[in-house]
Amino acid sequence: MDVTRLDLRALPVWERPGKIAEIFDRLPIGGTFTVLTDNEPRGLAFRVEQVRPHEVLFDHRRVGEREWTVRLTRVAAESDAPSPDGVLRRAGVFSTLDENARIELAGQASLHTIRRGQAVVTENTEWPFLGIVFEGVLALTTGNGNGRPRIFLEMFPYELIGELELFDEAPSSGRVIALSKVARYLRLPRRALLDVAERNPHVLLAIGRVNAQRRRDHMQALATQATMPIIARVAHVLVPYAMPERGLSPARAPLPNLTQAQIAAAAGTVKEVAARAIAELEQRELLKRERGHIRYLDRQGLLDMIKDAG
């Protein structure tokens, strides 16, 4: 049967990757289908990427409270080390560029590697680029020594860096650092991107949609921090690192190496308060630590707790 839209909400989280892979394997190159899910989809996307590496292009959008659509497209796998052209083909906002425009843009791009704690850009500095993460995880932080640090946004593979500054050309709104042990990103000069976008306006529209989605995510995060108890706020931070398996399963990187201070910064609290919440989540068997670091998470359990708290 040809499936173009699949509602996953009635399935347990651990059954969803297999169902997606079953349908995905019937797609031709360039074929697409959409799934509807009721929880943050990054863990699901990561699991599908593990079983079908370099073959899936994801485009997820929040369309309501606890409701996302995820469009999956089958692409030709790049077997060699990532190239600028390969990264652009995997990034949703650039995937529809024609080959000539994509090659032109790739010719102006550069690949960069940083390590944990190093910065792509610092707060209130000019950064005339747009970035695309393609390995590891980055975070947009504020504080910079002038008060309690906050993590406002985590950027996973094939997500954008600096889309807000692309439009208003203002200094960076925060400091973008590597959370993972190693992070790699592609950097596109703003001027080269705008030159290509003048002939391909759908690219700017796609980047604008990413910007709008992030504003929605920020609003949801603020609402969560204003209305939910701290234990649910910490659980909300952990969910993107939880895999869609039954019960406790290994958390995805870089969570096992994150400090309690970093988790607290993402939850909008202080280390001591986050530490108590983490201990309570462990007592409820929703996470498990080894040597002080969170290494296992129960995705469904965390989601149920957040739902009950809301």
Quote the tokens at residue 273. Answer: 């308060």
pTM score, whole prediction: 0.85
Quote the mean pLDDT of the chain.
Answer: 88
The predicted-structure confidence for 54-86, as pLDDT tens digits, reads as follows: 888 888 888 877 788 999 888 877 666 688 998
Three-state SS at 155:
strand
- The full DSSP string for 42-104 is HHHHHHHHHHSTT-EEEEEEEEETTEEEEEEEE-----SS--HHHHHHHSGGGTTS-HHHHHH
Distances (CA, A) of 28 to 20, 55, 71, 75: 15, 11, 15, 9
The strand pairing partners of 289, in sequence order, are 294
Q: How far apart are CA 258 and CA 281, in angstroms?
A: 16
Proportion of the chain in helix, strand, coil states, percent, rounded to 5? 40, 25, 35
pLDDT-derived band at 145 (thresholds 50, 70, 90) equals low
Domains of the chain: 5-74 (3.30.110), 84-224 (2.60.120.10), 228-309 (1.10.10.10)
Q: What are phi and psi of 266, to 5 degrees?
A: -75, -30
The predicted-structure confidence for 106-141, as pLDDT tens digits, reads as follows: 999 999 999 999 999 998 899 999 999 999 999 998
